Amino acid sequence: MGKGGLGNMMKQVQQMQAKMAEMQEELANMEVEGSAGGGMVKVVTNGKHELVSITIDPEVVDPEDVDMLQDLIAAAINQAREKVAETQAEQMSSLTGGLNLPPGLNLPF
């Protein structure tokens, strides 16, 4: 790789780092909803995978079947987390799509 090629690649990496920081800020502020039981349990998480809120339809609260409610809450949280991960992967793909990086290169961010 010539000197100009390396310099150009370094500029691309710096631009990507700046875009990455901006993207991380956007992702941290986004909110994603997950639901289970036909929407009877809804959770909202942010881009940091932190739980923001839980909404439970009173009809699903059955003292005789607490296990079902626990399962629905876990399923809704997992769905929201998957949505966050998918969004992050899509953003990362769009960020690195134009950069010709060697296979296996680990970037410092």
CATH superfamily of 3-96: Nucleoid-associated protein YbaB-like domain (3.30.1310.10)
**pLDDT score at 104:** 52
Q: What share of the chain has pLDDT > 90, as a percent?
A: 49
Domain coordinates in residue numbering, the chain: 3-96
Ramachandran angles phi, psi of 49, nearest 5°: 65, 25
| Radius of gyration of the CA atoms of the chain, in A | 20
pLDDT digits (tens, 9 = 90+) for 13-56: 888 888 888 888 888 889 999 999 999 999 999 988 899 999 99
Question: Does the reported pTM lie above 0.85?
Answer: no
